[in-house]
Structure 1
């Protein structure tokens, strides 16, 4: 399954547990329930690769709910309701497992994590024909699935070893500015978004749905604190306020039109570019 949350590595060490983001930030303090559950695995050493999520009433992961639990981008709250779904085991009892085949690591992961855990859980794995599995996932209202080569070793980075198959279009776009709201004081009306094309940023339109009035005010406060000295994209709009391109907005949309703009975009949440947030590349 393609979990809609934060990719994390849970390091279980003899005297402590560390929870690190993909960009190397220590977020242990933000996931106390996951930390407490991981301590139960000690004194064995291990590194679990997985995703922290918050589930909605239907049992589906929801990135917006996770961000709300954390207090938003830059928030200080602790996400006690977050759950960690582990899908890989990179290190166990003094041994680096990354050179082993994925199916061998999976077997060890299943042995390491007891079934029925309430906070740290095993991400379900299904073998079969990809199109049929994807169709079933979409029927359940899930975001999509991840396809993996069972014979492959573990390799860091985005190297194409894993294929993300989506039910809906959902990608990260760099926030390059905003348009102030004329209806809600101190809020934004739209975020201005860009995709990558090589080393440059290309404007792909704005998004004005998916956030509440409070979120719109919080977003304006965050972005106004980081004004751009030079506009990050070539865009002439009278009411545009440009910011430094340091945030990645998760956006759902139906397509990118022939003139390079997002169609029916909706805002899901904000990530930090510094934390290796995925950014849509127009060359792909």
Structure 2
């Protein structure tokens, strides 16, 4: 597949102060890839969206929600200091790769210390896919093809903790088919002539091999095996509250099942966060969010063939599936 073609470069914008934070550009979920010469494609990485801020004498790493996670990514910080820039903001994804080179969200969380793990923090890799600021110049008004032209010389060919997320121009349907055949989460399509716009819009589109969203954990059902987890009870947002959307009973190892059971046992409550009566249910405080992959929704609004992919704390700004927004 050929790399995206470039046109004559534009003149760089005038010098401007470096922004303390930039709200990220978010991709809109669509059913199939867009077509046309103005679209380029990338692998959809399965990790944490972060921005790497390089300033004089320091590197900061901010999450999508604006939290400072610099101390959680020491290898990325160390490698970012070696880039040939004075100041920069790189947009991308922090991932851990499995033995087949695929990003694995569960391995990433374990490397970050959410659960006991042999995966070390040094295994985390940052794939940069956009450049928002460079050496005193705010690049967000430039089209994506220009931002990529400036990004690639900085990170292309590197094998450390900071790497380039490769961009290609290809037939979108074929690229998507190949991505799914290789067990990837999906692809991202980006319009190469558009500037960088914070928030969700049509200029970035995501096409996933399976549906995947975040749901609040509101309880669990114990396994018939003592000390293990049988099923997570999940809820989505709806009109400002939470509504039960079914359970998830797959996607974890025996070891992880025990670890999850212990974590949930520490936040048990007698007041369920949803209107639900189940004989064996143990309700928990709505403090954790599960990343879940699933095939579809049932007619009565429950998840079909749900599989657990990861867990994180429910924080302000956490993205949780919203029924009211998706049914609007």
Deviation string for 1:105-153 (max 9, x for gaps)?
1111113224233321110111233222211211222110011122222
The aligned counterpart of 1:120 is: 162
- SS at structure 2 position matched to 1:246: strand
Instruction: Flag the 1:222–1:282 CA change in 2: closer, same or farther, 3 A.
Output: same
Q: Deviations over 1:73-130 (max 9, x none)?
A: 699x851011110011111111222222222111111132242333211101112332
Residues in 2 aligned to 1:160 and 1:28: alpha-carbon distance in whole angstroms: 31
Q: How large is the RMSD of aligned CA atoms in angstroms? A: 2.2
CA distance in 1, matches of 2:86, 2:168: 28
Q: Report the equivalent of 2:272.
A: 231
Partner of 1:172: 214
| Aligned residue in 2 for 1:206 | 247
Match of 1:267 among 293, 308, 311: 308
* Aligned counterpart, 2:319: 278
**Residue 41 of structure 1 pairs with residue 55 of structure 2:** no
* Alpha-carbon distance between aligned partners in 1 of 2:165 and 2:151, rounded to the nearest angstrom: 10
Write the distance in 2 (CA, Å) between the matches of 1:135 and 1:270: 28
Asked whether the equivalents of residues 114 and 312 of structure 2 are also in contact (C-alpha less than 8 Å), the reply is no
What is the CA–CA distance in structure 2 between the aligned matches of 1:234 and 1:191, rounded to whole Å? 16
1:254 aligns with one of 295, 304, 321: 295
C-alpha displacement of 1:255: 1.4
Compute the TM-score of the two structures, normalised by the length of structure 1: 0.90
The one of 152, 160, 175 equivalent to 1:133 is: 175
Q: Secondary structure of 1:214's match? A: helix
**1:142–1:43 Cα change, 3 Å:** closer
> Which residue pairs with 1:8 in the alignment?
50
State the structure with bigger RCO (CA 8 A, min sep 6), 1 or 2: 2
2:151 counterpart of 1:109: yes
After TM superposition, give the deviation of residue 229 of structure 1 in Å. 6.6
The count of corresponding residues between Structure 1 and Structure 2 is 282
Q: Is contact 2:84–2:154 with CA below 8 Å preserved after alignment?
A: no
Single out whichever of 82-91 and 108-117 deviates more from structure 2.
108-117
1:195 aligns with one of 236, 243, 260: 236
Aligned partner of 2:72 in structure 1 is 30
Contact persistence 1:184–1:213 (CA under 8 A)? no
SS in 2 for 1:267: strand
- TM-score, structure 2 length as denominator? 0.79
Contact between 1:201 and 1:232, CA under 8 Å: does it hold in 2?
A: yes
Distance 1:28 1:209, change over 3 A: same
* Distance (whole Å) between structure 1 residues aligned to residue 270 and residue 311 of structure 2: 22
Confirm whether residue 153 of structure 1 aligns to residue 195 of structure 2.
yes
Query: Do 2:85 and 2:134's aligned partners in 1 also have CA atoms closer than 8 Å?
Result: no
User: Which of 163, 167, 180 is residue 205 of structure 2 equivalent to?
Assistant: 163
